[in-house]
Chains A and B, each alone.
Chain A
Amino acid sequence: MSRIALIDITKQFGDLKAVSNMNLEIAEGEFVALLGGSGCGKTTTLRMIAGFTELTAGDITIDGKSVKNIPAHKRNIGVVFQNYALFPHLTAFENIAFGLTLKKMPKKEISERVGKTMRMVKLDGLEARLPRELSGGQQQRVALARALVMEPRVLLLDEPLSNLDAKLRQEMQVEIKRIQKEVGITTILVTHDQEEAISLADRIAIMNDGLVQQVDTPKDIFKRPRSRFVADFMGFSNFIDGTVREATGVAYRVEAVNPGTVTGAAEALSLDVSAQGTEKPYAVGDAVTLAIRPENVAIGFACGNCVRAKIASITYKGTVTRVAAETDYGFSLRADVEDATVIESGGPAELYLPPDKIIVLPR
């Protein structure tokens, strides 16, 4: 089990900077997720750690020793690829045993180690099957076993669950978490799925455009995103630009900019926001963006933090009903509510934004 340090790493492909001066430290046994959309640099970072891509600048150390100049096949890093990359001409057993046979390990020992690992990932009985005879979930487990049987110092997972259906994905998430805790191996997961990152990782690094936007525990990233990008990524789909007009120790009053583009709004919208959810204290005059999750927006009655709006659409989604509304102040709001019977599409509504559920982000 090793600790990893990414020191100022950069990767440039011609004109494109895929990864820019990234820094990250991962402790022994920690499970870190690199989370971001396509093109953010997360896969490139993973490939640099594995040794498949050379660094343009910076260094990567494992247990304090630089691996920058060590070729991939000497780094002893386990990789699970997005498409599993199982050797199609070898059985499940042979796939898993592959790395061990390279080391010229005695057959009996190989058999033991492979058997043990196959049991750990719940693959017993499937030794003689070829990859094309295995289901997606089984193939995934073979890929995992193949990497783990080598007892690597680090495990890299490249979007391993993206090819599975929803139910299987949930199951495999539980499995991966269990196995990782059991083996205690330092693990880095690359994914675009925030729910996956949240359920699996000890810490999440959100990436965009080759830069790390925020590194935090899942809880902190979920509740306290520090930038608009991260907030948006984590599901805060309502944003209101504003300026701080009053600041007490416990609350801010923020005035929304672009007030009243729709006729009928006599004055600017002011919202009270609890100061608890903010990172650093803001002062009067600061430019901020307010954000709130759709599930925290409620249908209300005329009140302090209510916003008058016209309902644009109501969509039943099973667990919640999604309401999209155009406010009188020029911005739109999305609310996920349990019961939308009091409103109707095209009609007016007041949407309540609870002060303690709004977060303040720098603009």
Chain B
Amino acid sequence: MPEKQDGIGFKIIALAVYAFMAAPIVIVVLASFSPTSFLAFPPKGLSLKWYYNIFDDNGFVSGFFNSMFLASVATAIDVMIAIPAAIAVTKYHFPGKTALTNFFTSPMFLPTVTFGFVLLQAFSAVRGVPTFYRLLAGHLIIILPYIFRNVVSVMIGFNWTLEEAAQSLGARPLQTFRRVTLPLIKPGIMAGGLLAFLYSLDDATVSAFISDHRFVTLPIRMMTYMEFSFDPTLAAISTVLIALSLGAIVLMERFVGLNIFLK
């Protein structure tokens, strides 16, 4: 049935909110092209010099690679841990199932600052753990719930009879998983993996407590840079990160669709 046009008021508020949400991001991208060291409004021209500056000995490049590496390792490990965990709580029924599910999502409820500090103190008591592994430990924990919840949400409606069908056709348990279960839960894994990866990439809270000169993550590099300089190199590196996120979300939309975010 044809829908009445909803109040124009809603539309205006919504558009204003979206403008609000887009504002800082747009500004950052604009600032990265500013020829002057602060963003003049209206902008006075275009320049790429801040992008070149990224590669000057600023620690941004190494920070970028450090963060990408850390995020990749953490996400890869957590994907392999979260998938069986999600299967455990969706396929089987046992007393304490809900408690276990809550346990696996619990890191989301611990303030990241608290956890950052806890790790700091805990690792200082255990000497000799390299900075990278301290960060890895922290990230493994904080990104796990994102993968777990997304995989669980695709598995909740999963038709487990499909596994029995595969068995009846002669598939061993591992074959069943690879050929039937895995392809069908891929959207959840990808959505969760993407969120987790970006969360690790952007984390400045745990890193603020754990990261040091031996392993500097990009967010920390950016924050320390901000403490003594406001120049738009930050805008340039930020724009690179924004482009990365944009690329990721476009990929998500193409291959998996975004409805998964509506929970």
Contact = CB atoms under 8 A, between A and B. Distances in A.
Given A87-B180, A88-B184, A89-B184, A81 B170 contact: no
Contacts of A88: 184
B168 A77 contact: yes
Contact of B167 (A72, A86, A147): A72
Contacts of A150: 169-170
B254 interface: no
Interface stretch (A60-68, A96-104, A248-256): A96-104
B175 interface: yes
Nearest to B160: A85
A81 B169 contact: no
Q: How large is the interface on B (under 10, 10 to 19, 20 to 34, 35 or more residues)?
A: 10 to 19
Nearest to B184: A89
Contact of A102 (B159, B164, B175, B183): B175
B167 A52 contact: yes
Interface in A69-91: 71-74, 76-79, 81, 83, 85-89
A325 interface: no
Nearest to B159: A85
A213 B168 CA distance: 29
Contacts of B183: 89
Contact of B169 (A52, A89, A146): A146
B161 A102 contact: no
A188 interface: no
B172 interface: yes
The DSSP consensus for interface residues of chain B is helix
A99 B162 contact: no
Contacts of A50: 164, 168
Contact of A73 (B161, B167, B179): B167
A327 B158 CA distance: 54
B184 A98 contact: no
B165 A85 contact: yes
A72 B165 contact: no
A83 B169 contact: no
B166 interface: yes
B29 interface: no
A300 to B, nearest CB: 53
A71 B159 CA distance: 21
Interface in B151-165: 159, 161-162, 164-165
B162 A85 contact: yes
B88 interface: no
Nearest to A101: B179
Give the most central of A73, A83, A89, A98: most B CB within 10 Å. Answer: A73
A76 B179 CA distance: 19
A292 to B, nearest CB: 42
Contacts of A98: 166, 169, 171, 179
A331 B162 CA distance: 50
Contact of B172 (A51, A73, A87): A73
Nearest to B161: A85
B91 to A, nearest CB: 13
A5 B184 CA distance: 37
Contacts of B180: 87
Interface residues of A, number: 25
Contacts of A99: 169-171
A81 B175 contact: no
Nearest to A98: B169
Interface in A140-195: 146-147, 150
Give the most central of B167, B170, B172, B183: most A CB within 10 Å. Answer: B170
Contacts of B164: 50, 52, 72, 79, 81, 85
A72 B168 contact: yes
A100 B170 CA distance: 9
Contacts of A79: 164-165, 168
Interface string A112-141: 000000000000000000000000000000
A76 B168 CA distance: 7
Nearest to B183: A89
B6 to A, nearest CB: 33
Contacts of B162: 85, 87
B171 A73 contact: yes
Nearest to A89: B183
Contact of B170 (A86, A87, A89, A102): A102
A50 B170 CA distance: 12
B166 A81 contact: no
B174 to A, nearest CB: 11
Contacts of A89: 183-184
A78 B170 contact: no
B112 to A, nearest CB: 37
B175 to A, nearest CB: 6
Interface of B: 159, 161-162, 164-173, 175-176, 179-180, 183-184
29 contacts: A50-B164, A50-B168, A71-B167, A72-B164, A72-B167, A73-B171, A73-B173, A77-B168, A79-B165, A81-B161, A81-B164, A81-B165, A83-B159, A83-B161, A85-B164, A86-B165, A87-B162, A88-B184, A89-B183, A98-B169, A98-B179, A99-B169, A102-B169, A102-B170, A102-B171, A102-B175, A103-B170, A146-B165, A150-B169
Given A71-B167, A87-B166, A99-B169, 14 more contacts: A52-B167, A72-B168, A73-B167, A73-B170, A77-B168, A81-B165, A85-B164, A86-B165, A87-B165, A89-B183, A102-B169, A102-B171, A102-B175, A150-B170
User: Which 10 interchain pairs have the tightest Cβ spacing?
Assistant: A99-B169, A85-B165, A79-B168, A85-B161, A72-B167, A73-B167, A89-B183, A99-B170, A85-B162, A102-B170
